[in-house]
Amino acid sequence: MSPIGSRLNGVTKDLYLQWAQARENWRDAKAQEFEQKYLEELWSTVDKTIGVIEQLDQLLARIRKDCE
């Protein structure tokens, strides 16, 4: 995994852990709504973004190699 992908993955995991801790005390409908409205989309988007970053990293590596 590229350094940028690793960093994004790491901060996302940190956010997930913080959210899990918050959910231990915040268990009402608003917490569920917040998770569904914002966090579920965020998790999905981050996964897709990491995939795109990896593809770009591979493309840049090929370009660098071709330019040598």
Per-residue pLDDT tens digits of the chain, which is 68 residues long: 788 889 999 999 999 999 999 999 999 999 999 999 999 999 999 999 999 999 999 999 999 999 98
Question: Tokens for 5?
Answer: 């992908």
Cβ-Cβ contacts under 8 Å for 22 (sequence gap 6 or more): 31
Full residue range of the structural domain in which residue 57 is found: 3-67
20: amino acid identity, one letter: A
- For residue 68, the SS3 value is coil
Total of domains in the chain? 1
Question: Tokens for 13?
Answer: 């995991």
pLDDT computed for residue 32 by the predictor = 93
pLDDT computed for residue 13 by the predictor = 94
Residue whose structure tokens are 């770009």? 56
CB contact at 8 A, 50 and 9: yes
